[in-house]
Every structure is written in structure tokens, then in C-alpha cells.
Amino acid sequence: MLVDERAAPRRRRARQLPGRAVHAQGRVLHSTWLSHDLLLTTVSLPLTPLLTVTGARFLADDGPAVFDVRSMRWSAHAAESQHVMVTMRLRSRPPVHASWGRLVLSTSDGRVSMEPVDFAETITDLRTLIRESLADRTADERADLLAFLLSGATAPADLGLSQSLHAAREVLRERLVVSAPAPRSGHGLWVDSLLGIDDTTFYVQGWLWDGDAPLRRLTAVSPEGDRVELAHRMLRHFRQDVSDFYSPAFGSRAYGQFGFTCGFSTSVPSLLVDGWVLEAHTAVDDEIEVTAPPVTWETRVIGERLVTQLSLDPDPDGPLRVEHVYPALSRLQERRHRSVEISELTQLGRPAAIPTVSIVIPLYGRTDLLEHQLAEFALDDDMRQADLIYVLDSPELAAEFRNRAARAERLFGVPFRIVILSENSGYAMANNLGASVTRAPLLLLLNSDVLPDKPGWLGRMSAFHASKPHIGALGCKLLYEDDSLQHAGMYFERFAGSRLWYNGHYFKGLHRSHPAANAARRVPAVTGACMMIDSELFQSTGGLSGQYLQGDYEDSDLCLRLSEIGKEQWYTPAVELYHLEAQSYPIERRRLYSEYNRWLHTRLWDSQITGLMRAFPTGSARAEPSPPRRSDRTQVR
Amino acid sequence: MKRAERMKVLFICHGHPSIRPGGTEGYALEVFNAFRQRAGVDALFLAKGGQPMARSGNVHLGTFIAPVDDDPSEYLVFTDGYDYDWLNGSVRNLDFYTKHIHDFLVAVDPDVVHVQHTQSLGYPILREIRNSVPDAAIVYTLHEFLPICHNSGQMVRPETSELCTHASPRRCHECFPAITPQDFFLRQRFIQAHLSLVDAFVAPSHFLLERYARWGIPRERLHFVENGRALSGPPAPTASRANRNHFGFFGQLNPNKGVSVLLAAMRLLASGDSRIRLALHGANLELQQREFQQFVTASVDELADVTLHGAYQPEDMAQRMAPIDWVVVPSIWWENSPLVIQEAFFHGRPVICSDIGGMAEKVTDGVNGLHFRAGDAASLASVMRRAASSPTLWNRLRRGIKGVATIEDHVASLERIYQSILAVRRAEEVVHAG
């Protein structure tokens, strides 16, 4: 049965091929496994050197299903034969002694069939195969072979294949002069770090000194041999240390932009940590290379490094952000979220039969807030009837947390579920995964550092939600520990000289009794610290966006999405809770994350926010119009 | 409700006087013993035992309680191996409540649980009482301001020793900069959430009652009940002398009792001509900070007219009181209802005390004693000088001393409170059943 997926439609019968009949026979020389399902074979054909090979097929013979057969002519120097490289994928590695079938090549001169051969007998190791085939090859021919091997290796990612390709690369690669930066040398190349965002997305930082002659090409070569051109897309920047290194010998010429930072993609997945090489080619045909340090794969480190790159260029529309850092961070977040899942879901206590509200509370780091919340919830019947879900986003605390949660349920008597995630995933994912297991029609997102003022608040909040037909998200009054306002609705504002939108909180810092904050009203957005939304609506929007770093702007992002589909965001002062937002002194990293989030938020929502804020006041304006002035006639003697 | 005839009352306290003498523990035991004499009441006492106060801890595997002595009504409960959260007032591992306290409560099955103190036992004990014996009345005595104030419940600001009138997350953070205002807020809410389970609070002074009312405890649950004493024997005779210049201090020798102020006042008086004599009767000096201990012993050595006597048992009181004319209560914190004031009045001795808090409530300036400006050694010295130089003043103030409430009065009031709560419970049961 013919299973070649690159062939013409499968309705053709086996062994009956179009074209001229076979008129020659070839011979399989060597084969080797590049991965568990990819076979490389060299065959020899008794053809004239000018013949071109146009295709290859495999006629399976009750053997393994074979597909994706590719070929490349690989001329031999012997006048009477040519070599062709063929790669093919098999659905499963066949047993050693089965008879496989027949390899048939199509050429400009007709079809050539190989002698029926038991491929298993031709299996050898990769180095031997390449060595046998490589006698007297030019550098270009070797590069062609490497490119050919890569072309058959695009997906899926496979460590065995990566290692084979790396071995092939090491044999086939043209080695350049290794860069050895010296103060008097006219060229130098160095890689400071190489970040592996996912198996086809990378980010490189380093420096390149081209004092002698300008750079023409900068090529990143993956361990597997994939080549990516960087020179035209990378961003160059000033590097004090590099300039200081070369200035004694080169004077003012040493003060230029010799650092580079660049995000890029490979066409072939790269899984190996060691083996990346950067090659530089200058205008005077100098070629140097440098080995990159091992690839950094830890997502947290990558996130930090990418964010610190932002300080190189503050321009919000500049290429650094738009073409390099943002795409990289975007892919990083996707990678983080792909792998995280719920590793445990446990019910503690007897839950309500038909809960009306599901409450999702992510816990991260400070898990002692659990007991504080439960001590309050225990005084409130509404909470015993709710579908309470605590999501532990610090899985390293799982063992201790499980015990504490069980004990707390026994003492406080409020039933709840615990969700333990497979890895730390951040605010958005923790909420989304918690929301994925809710049972009630209404969803409340609640922070772990929120404490109710008085019992009965949940029922009041639900009632308000039910009273507004077009409601999207509902927020409520949140107080600091000193009874001042932490949240009474959110708005967006821009400051002079900046295009970026900031999230503002109406009346923040004023006393809880401030009149304007005690009016129920529509608002541009509400905080995620205590946000009520219809469960299905939440699911239909896709939940909180995982694009933002370290929990910031996800709430306003959701509200803007809701606004886009015609939903209204509302604020009710009849529900009051405390939100103990701690004033931790900002560290540099947190500030950079905030800036990135703000930039991303503006990039995604600029025009919508501009439109929305025409209908709402900002925090400095009155929430309600001032009362009309009394006429002067009231001033009576 | 099961038994209508006999009422079973369980007292819970943070210590036992046999382990460490202390006003609160001692008084709790007196109340317990008085209840044992009452008709129709079965009384039990559960005290926190073990480290750090006692030399021995839990010695049996699998149980956390043990009898105090051979008495089936007095028990110790241990927290060995359990970690205590001193800020919020909770044993961290809640199994302590849901297993050990639970088992004891279910076995004992009290009608009333009267919590004298929760320090080192934790506030969640109140939640466990509600869980295990839901029909029981929960009564809680307020001895100081520990639920309000993290500085040993004194409401005196550390560093400055300034008196504090109200707590707030920001102010508490100023007293303890390493603890955030948010954590103080959490502390307050946690404690208040548990105290909301209490049916009735007992406060031995109006001053303290008012503070708690302003802090948020519903006024209808706050009850003023004067501390009563089981003081036996005749009042100590007074020495027959012309000048009333013998002063006495009775109590724990710790800084918040104002010992430093008193010694500083004695220094000021040393140069005078009134030959004022001071006897310090007190316990637990060895538990205090080294600096304080050294200060006290050095002052005693230096001042010829100051003598240091050690700890005393209640039975010794009359004997110790005999040579004393005036009792000084110089506490630098508000005090609630110092037992020593009642003891002094029982023996007919006028009291010189700080002009704040529970002291100023129990002693009326110019009637049965004298006030001085709290914390002010010069003010105290001046009052003492005046007191020592005027025998007529001493006589007049002695006559102004009214009778001391008895322990019987006190427990009768308590029993009335218990019964009223239980009556409401019974009525609610009828409503639910019907």
C-alpha cells in the first residue's frame, strides 16, 4: 500500500506509477537513524552527472508505513555514479529483519529503482555515513547537505534528532577563526547570554566590535545547524565596557554602538543547551565565530532578563519593544501557560448543594491569609453556602498547605476546595484555572488579602449584579486598614508627555465616608481584587490575559474586553471589604515589570480607552455635578 | 440541654498559681474554689502547663492533659511541640484545638465555659468551644488590654512609655516598626472574629469596660463585676507609732508595676528628713530583664530605707501588712483592678496610686487614698512626703475605706450571668423545636 503523503492522491494503485518505465537500477549504500522515526539513506545511481533528481518514493512492502520522503542529489566524483541523499519518516521503527520495500527515484531521465534491499542491513552510525559520503566535498556542498538534513527535520521537536543533527553539523560545518577579543584587534565578537524562550524562539545579547570594517552578516547557528541572519534585524546599542576596552588603541572610533540585542526564530526546533555559535562576516571578508554560553531555559530568569533589556530604549514605539522584547515575552508567557495544569483538586468539608456564587482565591507565598479569611467567613452564612475555591500558586508549599487547609476546615467549618497547580503560573493563570472548576453561575474573583467588613456582603453583591441587565464586571468598595478608600472604581489617565495610560483608582486615600464614593455608578473598570462576573461570560472572554507579567492590568484588560462587547462595569458602595494592599517598597525589577505591563496595555487598548474615557470623569474631576449656587436673594439682612 | 439541676462550669486559664504565682492565675483559682462551694455547681479548672513557666512539660504520649495533683477537678493542658503565634494569639497547628481541646470539652461536657485568659492557648479556643459544646455559655474575663494591644496588653507605648489611649494599625506599627500596619489590622480582625463568639464579657473596672466598648465589643455583652476576694482572718493590726512613714509595695517586681518610679521617688526622699521606709514584697524579679534586676538590687543596696522581701503566699499577707501604713501601687500602665488594692483596703491601709485607669477608679483621691501623676517620681515623692508627715490625713483616709467585695458576691454575680445566658439558650431551643 502506498503511503507516501507527498505523492499524488492515494487512489493510485501501488506499483503502477506514471511516467516512463524503470530503466536503471541503483544501490543503497548506507542508512542511519537520525531520530526514532527519521531515516537517512545514501544511494548510488549509475547516471550521468547532469541528471537531476526530481523526487523519491517508497513503495512499502508490508513493511513500515513511510512518508515524507525527500531527496537531494549529491554528486560523486566518480564518473560512473551519482549519490543521492534521501530522508524518510517512518511511522514506527520496524523490526530488524523485516523486508521493507522498494525505494524509487524519479529523475529527468526516468525512474530509477533501487535494488530491493533489507534496509536494516545498511544501517550504520551517522559519522560513518557522512564520512563515507564526504570525501573531497566543498564547503558549499557540505552546507547544502546540512541544509537538506534540516529541511526534513522541522517538527516535532525530538532530542534524539537534535543530537544527530548536531553531530552532523560538527562534521559538516565550516569552522571559522574563533574570536579572541584583544585591545588592538580590529574585530571582536562575544555573546553574553542566549535565552531559550521556546524551542523555536530565542533571544541573544552580546557585543560586536567591527572597528576594522563594518559588519555585513551576523549569523546565529543552532546546535542542529539551523542558520538565522541577525544583522538586519538586531538592535545595536552603546556598551560602555566595550568602548572602554578598545578606546586606548582606537580612540574615538571606539565610541559607537557595539552591543547588540536581538530576538529571533529558528525554522527547526532547537533543544540542545550547548553548541550555539555566532558567525560574523565583515566587509573586508573577515569571518569570525564565537561559541555562545549554554542556553538559559528557566522562565523566571528569562522574564527578568528580557524586562531589563527595556532600559536600553525608553521609546514605547521603538523597535526594541515592538520587534524584540514584546514578541519574546509574549511567547514566554505562552510557554509558561502551556505547561501548567491542575495537579490536585480536593473538596474539604461538605459543600453546598446548589451554590449561587463560586469564589476563586489565589494564594501565593503568604498562605497564612487562609486562616484569617476563614475566621471571618465562619461568621457568615453566605460564605458557608458559596463554592469557595483556594488556588495554591506556590506548589512548593503544597504538602504543608494541604495539612493546614484540612485543619482549618475542621476548626472553622467553612467548606472549600483546594486547587494545587503543577507549577507557579502567575495571577492570571491561577484565576483562570480556578475558574475552570467552578460550579455556580456567578463567579467572584477575590484576593487572599481581602477581608470582609461585615457578614452578608456576598448576598448584597449578588443582588446588585442581578439588578443590572447589561452588567459585565461588578466591583465594590475596598478599604485600606485605616478605613481609607483603596478602591471605588477604576479609570484611565495619561500624564503630560506620555502616551501611556495609567490605571487610576477613584478617590483613593479619602475616608470611606467620602460622599462621591458612596454612590453606585457605572465606571470604566473595576479591580480584580474583588470582581463579580457571570461565569459563562467570564469563560467566553477567555478569562484573564496571561500576557502581563506579575499580576497587573489583567483586571482592566478584562473590563476593556467586556466593554468592547457592550457590557457595563459597575461599582457598588453597599458592599465594603478591606484590601490590605501592602506598601512594599518598589524594587527596580517590579518597576520595570509595571512599565512593561503598562506599555502592553496601552498598545492593546489605546483607542478603546480614549473612546471610553470620553464618557467618564477622571479621578480629579467631580463624580457628580456640583449643586447649583444659591441666588443672591437669599442673603437677607 | 440535659441537666437542669446542676450547672457545670469549666474555667480555662493561661497558667496555674502552683506553677507560677500571678495575679490573674491566682484570682482565677480563687473564683474556681469559691464555685466549688456553691450549691448546684460543679466546677473544673483547666490551666496551661509546661514550658516556659513550669519545669516539667507533657510526659505522656498521646494525651495533652494531665491532672494538677490528685484532684479530678483541676487539669493542666500542654502545648509541647506546638508553635504559638504571639502576634495573632493562636497555636499555629489547629489540630491542637480540633483534637486535644475538642476531646477534653466533649469528655467534660460543660454548661458554661469561663475563659479567664487565652494567652499561649490562643483565641481559636473560643471557636472550638462553640464547635464542641454548642449549647455552652461562653464567658470571658478581660484582665488587661491584650486583645487590643500587642505590647503585653498594657496600652503603653514602648520606647517612650507614653500612655496610649487608642490603637490603630498605623499607631501599632509605630510601636513595632517590624510589624506592618496590615498585619496589625489582621491581628485585630482575627481576635475580634473570635471574641464575637463570646456571650458575655466580665470587666472588673469601668475604665477597662469603656475601652473595650470603644474598641468594638457590643456594650450589651460587657458586664462590670467587681473583683471579690476570699480574704480570711482578721485585718492586720496597725503598728502604734506617731508617724505614718512605712510604705509597702506588694506585687510582681516588673517594670510595668512601676517599681522603677517608686525607687526613683525613694532616691529623691533619701535626702529629706521624713525617714520614709519602703518594703518591697514581690515575686518574679528573677524573670525580668537583667538590666532591670540589676537596677532593683542596686537601688535596694544603695538606699538604706528600702528593704527587699521575696514572694509571698496569700496566707502571709496579714503578717507582711502589719508594719505597713500605706500601700503604694505605682503602676505605669492603666491597671484593671489590682488585687493588692483590695487587699490593702481589707487591712484598712490607704492606697497611694497612679492617677490613671483602674487604679484611679478603685481609689478616690482624698477619700480612701491619694493619687500621684503616673510615671512621675517627683510627684510620687511629693505625695509620699505629704502622706508621711500627716497622721491626721492617714486616719481620715483610713476611715474613708469602705468594705471590700467578697468572693461570694463576685461568684454570685457570675452565676447570675451564666444563668441568664443559659436561659436564653433554652428559650431558643424551644423556639427551634417548636
At A383, is the secondary structure helix, strand, or coil? helix
Task: Please tell me the distance in Å from A545's CA to the nearest CA on chain B.
Answer: 29
List the single residue in B with minimal CA-CA distance to A366: B183
* Substitution target from B91, B103, B186 for chain A, most A beta carbons within 10 A: B186
Q: What is the mean pLDDT of residues A610-626?
A: 73
Which of A410, A449, A582 is closest, CB to CB, to B98?
A: A410
Which chain B residues have a beta carbon less than 8 Å from that of A378? 127, 193
Q: Taking the CB of residue A247, how many other CB atoms lie within 10 A of it?
A: 14
Q: What is the mean pLDDT of residues A201-205?
A: 97
Q: Cis omega before residue A156 (within 30°)? A: yes
Mean pLDDT of chain B: 92
B209 vs B295 pLDDT, higher one: B209
Instruction: Please say if the pLDDT value at position A583 is more than 70.
Output: no
Q: What is the mean pLDDT of residues A535-558?
A: 94
Question: Is residue B234 very low, low, confident or very high in pLDDT (cuts 50, 70, 90)?
Answer: confident
A184 vs A632 pLDDT, higher one: A184
Instruction: Give the residue among A200, A152, A158, A182 at the shortest CA–CA distance from A6.
Output: A152
Q: What is the mean pLDDT of residues B238-254?
A: 90
Which of B98, B182, B194 is closest, CB to CB, to A481?
A: B182
Question: Is residue B57 very low, low, confident or very high in pLDDT (cuts 50, 70, 90)?
Answer: confident
Question: Is residue B341 very low, low, confident or very high in pLDDT (cuts 50, 70, 90)?
Answer: very high
Which chain B residues have a beta carbon less than 8 Å from that of A582? 180, 182
Question: Is residue A331 very low, low, confident or very high in pLDDT (cuts 50, 70, 90)?
Answer: very high
Which of B90, B98, B168 is closest, CB to CB, to A482?
A: B168
Q: Over the stretch A66-77, which tens digit does the pLDDT of each residue have?
A: 667 777 776 655
Q: Which of residues 553-582 of A touch B (CB under 8 A)?
A: 578, 580, 582
Which chain B residues have a beta carbon less than 8 Å from that of A451? 185-186, 189
* Substitution target from A411, A478, A512 for chain B, most B beta carbons within 10 A: A411
Cα–Cα distance measured from residue A273 to residue A267, given in angstroms and rounded to the nearest whole number: 17
pLDDT on residue A637: 41
Lowest model confidence (mean pLDDT) among A23-37, A67-81, B414-428: A67-81
Instruction: Please say if the pLDDT value at position A102 is more than 90.
Output: no
Q: What is the mean pLDDT of residues A243-248?
A: 92
Question: Is residue B313 very low, low, confident or very high in pLDDT (cuts 50, 70, 90)?
Answer: confident
Phi, psi of B138 (to 5 degrees): -110, 120
Question: Is residue A2 very low, low, confident or very high in pLDDT (cuts 50, 70, 90)?
Answer: very low
Contact A482 B181 (CB under 8 A): yes
Q: Taking the CB of residue B162, how many other CB atoms lie within 10 A of it?
A: 11
At A142, is the secondary structure helix, strand, or coil? helix
* Substitution target from A371, A400, A481 for chain B, most B beta carbons within 10 A: A481
List the single residue in B with minimal CA-CA distance to A379: B193
Amino acid at A138: T
Question: Is residue A36 very low, low, confident or very high in pLDDT (cuts 50, 70, 90)?
Answer: confident
Whether residue A293 contacts residue A181, with contact meaning beta carbons closer than 8 Å, is answered with: no
Q: Over the stretch B95-153, which tens digit does the pLDDT of each residue have?
A: 999 999 999 999 999 999 999 999 999 999 999 999 999 999 999 999 999 999 999 99
Q: Is the CB of A511 inside 8 Å of chain B's CB atoms?
A: no
Instruction: Give the residue among B186, B198, B172 at the shortest CA–CA distance from B12.
Output: B198
Lowest model confidence (mean pLDDT) among A4-18, A128-142, A578-592, B234-248: A4-18
pLDDT on residue A14: 41
Task: Please tell me the distance in Å from B52's CA to the nearest CA on chain A.
Answer: 26
Lowest model confidence (mean pLDDT) among A113-122, A339-348, A434-443, B2-11: A113-122
Which of B180, B181, B186 is closest, CB to CB, to A372?
A: B186
Contact A411 B98 (CB under 8 A): yes
**Parallel, antiparallel, or unpaired: how do β-strands B369-372 and B351-354 relate?**
parallel
Task: Please tell me the distance in Å from A417's CA to the nearest CA on chain B.
Answer: 18
Instruction: Please say if the pLDDT value at position A115 is more than 70.
Output: no
Question: Is residue B26 very low, low, confident or very high in pLDDT (cuts 50, 70, 90)?
Answer: confident
Q: Taking the CB of residue B296, how many other CB atoms lie within 10 A of it?
A: 22
Q: What is the mean pLDDT of residues A415-434?
A: 94
Q: Is the CB of A401 inside 8 Å of chain B's CB atoms?
A: no
A335 vs A107 pLDDT, higher one: A335
pLDDT on residue A118: 67
Instruction: Please say if the pLDDT value at position A84 is more than 90.
Output: no
- What pTM did the predictor assign? 0.84
A31 vs A526 pLDDT, higher one: A526
**Which residues does B contribute to its contact with A (CB < 8 Å)?**
90, 93-95, 97-98, 124, 127-128, 131, 168-170, 180-182, 184-186, 189-190, 193-194, 196
Three-state secondary structure string covering A257-295: CCEEEEEEECCCCCCCCCCCEEEEEECCCCEEEEECCCC
pLDDT on residue B421: 96
Using CA atoms, how far residue A264 sits from A100, A328, A588, in Å, is 41, 8, 27
Instruction: Please say if the pLDDT value at position A9 is more than 50.
Output: no
Instruction: Please say if the pLDDT value at position A117 is more than 90.
Output: no
β-bridge partners, A260: A206, A236
Task: Please tell me the distance in Å from A439's CA to the nearest CA on chain B.
Answer: 28
pLDDT on residue A94: 58
List the single residue in A with minimal CA-CA distance to B167: A482
Q: Is the CB of A449 inside 8 Å of chain B's CB atoms?
A: yes
Q: What is the mean pLDDT of residues A159-183?
A: 89
Contact B189 A378 (CB under 8 A): no
Question: Is residue A64 very low, low, confident or very high in pLDDT (cuts 50, 70, 90)?
Answer: low
Assigned C-alpha cell, A307: 524586562
Considering only CA atoms, give the Rg of chain B: 22
Cα–Cα distance measured from residue A488 to residue A491, given in angstroms and rounded to the nearest whole number: 10
List the single residue in A with minimal CA-CA distance to B124: A411
pLDDT on residue A76: 56
Contact A411 B131 (CB under 8 A): yes
Contact B189 A582 (CB under 8 A): no
At B356, is the secondary structure helix, strand, or coil? coil
Instruction: Please say if the pLDDT value at position B167 is more than 50.
Output: yes
DSSP state at residue A325: I
Using CA atoms, how far residue B292 sits from B286, B295, B301, in Å, is 10, 5, 14
In sign, the C-alpha dihedral spanning A553, A583, A424, A310 is positive
Cα–Cα distance measured from residue B321 to residue B343, given in angstroms and rounded to the nearest whole number: 9
DSSP state at residue B121: T
Q: Over the stretch A467-526, which tens digit does the pLDDT of each residue have?
A: 999 999 999 999 999 999 999 999 999 988 888 999 999 999 999 999 999 999 999 999
Instruction: Please say if the pLDDT value at position B265 is more than 90.
Output: yes
Q: Over the stretch B168-187, which tens digit does the pLDDT of each residue have?
A: 999 999 999 999 999 999 99
Whether residue B293 contacts residue B370, with contact meaning beta carbons closer than 8 Å, is answered with: no
C-beta pairs of A609-613 under 8 Å, 24+ apart in sequence: A609/A492, A609/A501, A609/A524, A609/A560, A612/A492, A612/A524, A612/A560, A612/A563, A613/A491, A613/A492, A613/A493, A613/A524
Contact A411 B128 (CB under 8 A): yes
pLDDT on residue A587: 64
Q: A411: which residues sit within 8 A by CB, 6+ positions away? A: B94, B97, B98, B124, B127, B128, B131
Using CA atoms, how far residue A449 sits from A373, A481, A579, A594, in Å, is 8, 11, 6, 20
Percent of chain A with pLDDT over 70: 83
pLDDT on residue B280: 94
Instruction: Please say if the pLDDT value at position A585 is more than 50.
Output: no
Contact A412 B127 (CB under 8 A): yes
Contact B185 A372 (CB under 8 A): no
The residue behind cell 491561577 is A430
At B97, is the secondary structure helix, strand, or coil? helix
Which of B90, B127, B182 is closest, CB to CB, to A378?
A: B127
Q: B37: which residues sit within 8 A by CB, 6+ positions away? A: none
Task: Please tell me the distance in Å from B310's CA to the nearest CA on chain A.
Answer: 44
Which chain A residues have a beta carbon less than 8 Å from that of B93? 407
Cα–Cα distance measured from residue A532 to residue A465, given in angstroms and rounded to the nearest whole number: 8
Instruction: Please say if the pLDDT value at position A535 is more than 60.
Output: yes
β-bridge partners, A503: A492
Contact B182 A582 (CB under 8 A): yes
Question: Is residue A12 very low, low, confident or very high in pLDDT (cuts 50, 70, 90)?
Answer: very low
Assigned C-alpha cell, A245: 576596552
Cα–Cα distance measured from residue B148 to residue B157, given in angstroms and rounded to the nearest whole number: 13
Residue pairs between chains A and B whose CB atoms are closer than 8 Å: 56
Q: Is the CB of A412 inside 8 Å of chain B's CB atoms?
A: yes
* Substitution target from A366, A370, A371, A578 for chain B, most B beta carbons within 10 A: A371
Considering only CA atoms, give the Rg of chain A: 33
Which of A375, A449, A582 is closest, CB to CB, to B193?
A: A375
Whether residue A417 contacts residue A389, with contact meaning beta carbons closer than 8 Å, is answered with: yes
The residue behind cell 454612590 is A519
Using CB atoms within 10 Å of the CB of residue A353, give its burial: 0 to 12 exposed, 13 to 18 middle, 19+ buried. exposed
Contact B168 A372 (CB under 8 A): no
Cα–Cα distance measured from residue A529 to residue B108, given in angstroms and rounded to the nearest whole number: 45
Whether residue B338 contacts residue B227, with contact meaning beta carbons closer than 8 Å, is answered with: no
Cα–Cα distance measured from residue A560 to residue A568, given in angstroms and rounded to the nearest whole number: 10
At B307, is the secondary structure helix, strand, or coil? strand
Question: Is residue B347 very low, low, confident or very high in pLDDT (cuts 50, 70, 90)?
Answer: very high
Task: Please tell me the distance in Å from A423's CA to the nearest CA on chain B.
Answer: 26
Give, in degrees to the nearest 5, the angle at Cα B259 between B257 and B264: 140
Q: Which of residues 468-497 of A touch B (CB under 8 A)?
A: 481-482
A254 vs B420 pLDDT, higher one: B420
Q: Provide the CA A184 distance to its chain's centre, in angstroms.
A: 42
Contact B127 A375 (CB under 8 A): yes
B55 vs B256 pLDDT, higher one: B256
Q: What is the mean pLDDT of residues B367-396?
A: 95
Which of B93, B131, B190 is closest, CB to CB, to A375?
A: B190
Highest mean pLDDT among A489-493, B13-17, B21-25: A489-493
Task: Please tell me the distance in Å from A395's CA to the nearest CA on chain B.
Answer: 20
